[in-house]
Structure 1
Amino acid sequence: MISTPSVYVLKRATVEKCTPFLTHLLAASVHCLNFSSSSLFGQNVVSSSSVGSHENVAKMILEKRNAQEALRAFRLAESQPGFVHNCLTYRILIHKLGLQRRFKTVKKILHEMQTQGNCPPDETIFCTMVHDYGRAKMANEAVHVLNVMEELGCIPTIKVYNAILNVLVKHDFFVAKHFFRNTMMNSGISPNVYTFGILIKALCLLDRIWEAFRLLESMRHQGCEPSVVIYNTLIHAFCKKGKWDAGKGVMMKMMRSGCEPNEVTYHTLISGYCRLGELTEALELLENGVARGYFPDVITITKLIDALCEEGRADEAAQLMQQMEAKGCVTDVIAHNTLIKGLCKANKTESAHKILKGMANKGTTPNVASYNALIGGLCKDGKIDRAAAMVGEMEKNGCKPDAVTYNTLIHAFCIQDKVEEAFKLFDMMKERECTPELVTYYMLIYGLYRQSRVQEAFKFINEMKCKGSFPDTVTYSLQIHELCKQNKVAAAEDLLGEMSIRGHIPDVVTYSILIDGLCKRGHLVKAFDLLNRILIHMIF
């Protein structure tokens, strides 16, 4: 074997004296020597010192594409002078083999670990094996890990039993229950809090909540105190079934036992009461929690704000946000948008605007939904010019208006018969490369129709069609509308049929126009028949 100094001398002599051909040949030889000593584990060159790190070897094994390559890298690593595998590298290899169901090879590796003596398999190795059996849907084989441990002279631990139990409950609860009673309990190992947690969670998922509750009582009698996770599992299960009071009862029980509720506990119950509209209970729970040092997360705060706004209590929602922020709770753009919508719904657009402007001071940047909520509220309040001015404010703050922004304003201007302003926004929309939607065209044409500017409406249609940007569905809908206005309902029905034949799917606006025309003409049977056709189309 050529030593490192010899390689250096050889390379230098080659560069200075050899012919180009020999230079190429010797450089290739040197590359091979370097590769054989340091590039055995992948495409990247790895120094011999880095190979000596168990973490590096474990990483290389894990990154291999398949089990065969992983095993090869494992063997190459152990061939390096002074390198000896430890439990980490063995565990990673076993996991890699298990992922590809190479369980026979796994057993051979386990025997190898046991016979070599320097790194006998521990509980972590066997738990990894159990998890891989579970992932492979091989629950029965997971139980047989106990036999493998016996063969190797290893004593099963509570962690291994819990790992097996966790696999079994996902496969068949009856089998899991049998394993718990007849195998685990007879092994001389006492179940711990994780054991009961696995069983209680499984019972809750099976909607056997009261059975899970009885098991909670049973574990306490066995001297095993339930954890906050177990209590939360039960609370969540009760709340999911709509039994909020039972969930709150579990919370009271946990507090009496000295187990303090955490964020999950409060969030589960507060969210549930908000869904029920029981805001008094939700706010009382929040107040009690804050007094005990609980700080709600942004999701819980948003739920409460939304529930308050839905009940028309937007001012209280604003106060709640202010109080929670004063206590150090974090709020985000979604929480603020929820509050802005609620305030606008309550016709409190001034307050909503203050919230929006104050967001930046808190480090929360308003997004397009923030501005759209306020613009919608201002339009609803009849403050259209001010709403339109918000577009400039948006752009100034680096927020690009979207189709919702423009459509909201276009609709508001059309309703107030300010069609010219609506068309200015339409032009701006296209200039800003914001694609108009079907509803955009409908609103503009509706605005023209409101002012009896029918010829201008058709001129607009023709202009858009020439540019290739006008949907055919709108054209048909307008023609149907015009025929219905002229009491030519039969012709309108024929046109609807032609529309479908030509592959243009009528939308809700098209159907609404024709149904309205039929009703005005007294053709109620035909109108109901058309409505039934729409419903059938929606279902199937």
Structure 2
Amino acid sequence: MWPWSRSAAALVARSFRWQLCGLRRVTVLSAQLKREEATKLGINREYLLEKPEKRMTREAPVELQDDLRSLTSQISRYAKSGEYEKGMEVFEAIENPGTITYCAALDLCAKAAWFDRAQVLWAKMAASTKNVVAYSTMIHICARCTSPLEAERLFEEMKANGIPPNIITFNSMINVFAMSKQPEKAMQSFQSIPADMFSMASLGNQQTSFLTLMTSYARAGDYATTRELFVQMTTQGIKANNAHFNALLAACAKDGLAEIAQATFDLMKDYSLTPNTDNWTILMTCHRNNLQRCKEILQEMQLVDCQVSGMTYQELLKAHVLARDGKGAKELVEDLEKFGKWQNHSVMQRLLKKVQTMP
């Protein structure tokens, strides 16, 4: 009995190994096909997992000399800290900058919204150094500086030069039209993203695609389309975050759709999201014609220990002005420090002038 049992066990084990080997062959083949497809699309897993600001200065692996690598990192640090002139000084002192270094300088120009200086750098770059990262960064600069025509020209140029756009390029194009208040063109860019590219993109990039498009329609006050995009996104299994709800709330702000905004805000808990400062603030904007509700929103923020920003106080001041509550408005502006950087904003300055004329 025992020899037969051992033989049966061996047969079962051998069968299991065959099945496992078969599964491994399928898995390896699947992984190989994915790698080939990613290579064809110009993307890879490491690229998608990187933070956006790192991707903008990344290119195909090329060994940099230690000193050039150090200077390139220095440019990126200055860009991140907002010391743009210092970063540009470092770049201009480099004799032979490569693609990575040029991309770092272009990223600096993007953060500084230096369109003209970016154009000068672009003209100096050899055609061989202009890769998908460089083009994507230039298109991003066009978005920051509201130059849709130049962005379209660059997009067509890179395709003509045999450089396939990646998901970041497409997201930058969506943003170009969102910033230039052309939601229909933003939608066209979104719909032109290849389905396989979008499905292989990281969750962050997928969320960004929908968020940028939602924001484009939100700025136009088109709540219906913004909501449709939100439903489409979540139906596809893409997780919503606070920024997506901010776009929904912003879509209500233009026409003061307070009830819809409140219902949208209350829906956040169903998505396991805790409202942040921006969410509370835009909710207050939607209720700007109801001073009492705006005061309640401020109290609710403080009750849940959510930080109140200078922007929040500005929106509260706007509610006081709209309600012609001169006394409350003047009490609110007694301490301008709580408005932070917003105290010098043009909107704030206009509100202060109105407060001065109120009884």
| TM-score (norm: length of structure 1) | 0.39
Structure 1 position 445, deviation (Å): 2.7
Conserved 8 A contact 1:472-1:504: no
Corresponding letter in the other structure for 1:297: G
Q: Secondary structure at the match of 2:291?
A: coil
Structure 1 position 486, deviation (Å): 2.9
Aligned to 1:526: 332
Superposed counterparts of 1:349-360, under 5 Å: 349-356=148-155, 359=158
CA–CA distance in structure 1, aligned partners of residues 330 and 272 of structure 2: 36
CA-to-partner distance for each residue in 1:299-348, whole Å, 9 max, x for gaps?
A: 22224444666252444333333x251xxx5x554333222222344444
Q: Secondary structure at the match of 2:116?
A: coil
CA–CA distance in structure 2, aligned partners of residues 413 and 515 of structure 1: 27
The equivalent position to 1:448 in structure 2, one of 223, 245, 252, is: 252
Aligned to 1:422: 226
Conserved 8 A contact 1:414-1:446: yes
Aligned to 1:300: 101
CA–CA distance in structure 2, aligned partners of residues 281 and 438 of structure 1: 38
CA–CA distance in structure 2, aligned partners of residues 440 and 507 of structure 1: 20
CA–CA distance in structure 2, aligned partners of residues 465 and 266 of structure 1: 47
Identity %: 15
CA-to-partner distance for each residue in 1:507-529, whole Å, 9 max, x for gaps?
A: 54644433443566343343455
Aligned: 1:505 with 2:302:
no
CA-to-partner distance for each residue in 1:432-473, whole Å, 9 max, x for gaps?
A: 3222222322332332342344343344455x3684556456
Structure 1 position 364, deviation (Å): 5.6
Aligned: 1:369 with 2:178:
no
CA–CA distance in structure 1, aligned partners of residues 86 and 123 of structure 2: 19
Aligned: 1:319 with 2:117:
no
CA–CA distance in structure 1, aligned partners of residues 243 and 148 of structure 2: 26
Conserved 8 A contact 2:159-2:165: yes
CA–CA distance in structure 2, aligned partners of residues 445 and 336 of structure 1: 33
Alpha carbons of 1:416 and 1:332: their partners in 2 closer, same or farther (altered >3 Å)? same
Alpha carbons of 1:518 and 1:314: their partners in 2 closer, same or farther (altered >3 Å)? same
| TM-score (norm: length of structure 2) | 0.55
Higher relative contact order (CA 8 A, sep 6+): 2
Structure 1 position 398, deviation (Å): 0.6
Alpha carbons of 1:507 and 1:358: their partners in 2 closer, same or farther (altered >3 Å)? farther
Superposed counterparts of 1:241-252, under 5 Å: none
Alpha carbons of 1:396 and 1:524: their partners in 2 closer, same or farther (altered >3 Å)? same
Alpha carbons of 1:306 and 1:498: their partners in 2 closer, same or farther (altered >3 Å)? closer
Alpha carbons of 1:429 and 1:526: their partners in 2 closer, same or farther (altered >3 Å)? same
Alpha carbons of 1:525 and 1:432: their partners in 2 closer, same or farther (altered >3 Å)? same
Conserved 8 A contact 2:219-2:251: yes
Alpha carbons of 1:361 and 1:336: their partners in 2 closer, same or farther (altered >3 Å)? same
CA–CA distance in structure 2, aligned partners of residues 316 and 308 of structure 1: 11
Structure 1 position 394, deviation (Å): 1.9
Alpha carbons of 1:460 and 1:279: their partners in 2 closer, same or farther (altered >3 Å)? closer
| Structure 1: segments with no counterpart, 5+ residues | 1-19, 21-261, 536-540
Aligned to 2:352: none
CA–CA distance in structure 2, aligned partners of residues 424 and 530 of structure 1: 40
CA–CA distance in structure 2, aligned partners of residues 530 and 314 of structure 1: 37
Conserved 8 A contact 1:519-1:527: no
Structure 1 position 534, deviation (Å): 8.1
Corresponding letter in the other structure for 1:376: N
CA–CA distance in structure 1, aligned partners of residues 90 and 281 of structure 2: 51
Alpha carbons of 1:455 and 1:359: their partners in 2 closer, same or farther (altered >3 Å)? same
Aligned: 1:406 with 2:210:
yes
Q: Secondary structure at the match of 2:221?
A: coil
Structure 1 position 495, deviation (Å): 5.0
Superposed counterparts of 1:249-398, under 5 Å: 276=85, 289=95, 296-306=97-107, 310=114, 312-321=116-125, 323=126, 325=128, 329=129, 331-356=130-155, 359=158, 366-396=165-195, 398=197
Conserved 8 A contact 1:314-1:346: no
CA–CA distance in structure 2, aligned partners of residues 412 and 380 of structure 1: 7
Conserved 8 A contact 2:258-2:286: no
Superposed counterparts of 1:161-180, under 5 Å: none
CA–CA distance in structure 2, aligned partners of residues 266 and 466 of structure 1: 49
| Structure 2: segments with no counterpart, 5+ residues | 4-63, 342-359
Conserved 8 A contact 2:291-2:319: yes
Aligned: 1:457 with 2:261:
yes
CA–CA distance in structure 1, aligned partners of residues 134 and 281 of structure 2: 40
Alpha carbons of 1:308 and 1:472: their partners in 2 closer, same or farther (altered >3 Å)? closer
The equivalent position to 1:431 in structure 2, one of 235, 239, 245, is: 235
Root-mean-square deviation (Å): 4.4
CA–CA distance in structure 1, aligned partners of residues 197 and 235 of structure 2: 17
Structure 1 position 505, deviation (Å): 1.8
Corresponding letter in the other structure for 1:320: K
CA–CA distance in structure 1, aligned partners of residues 138 and 295 of structure 2: 46
Alpha carbons of 1:465 and 1:349: their partners in 2 closer, same or farther (altered >3 Å)? closer
Conserved 8 A contact 2:256-2:286: no
Conserved 8 A contact 2:221-2:250: no
CA–CA distance in structure 1, aligned partners of residues 102 and 282 of structure 2: 47
Conserved 8 A contact 1:302-1:335: yes
Corresponding letter in the other structure for 1:317: L
CA–CA distance in structure 1, aligned partners of residues 330 and 244 of structure 2: 31
CA–CA distance in structure 2, aligned partners of residues 443 and 281 of structure 1: 38
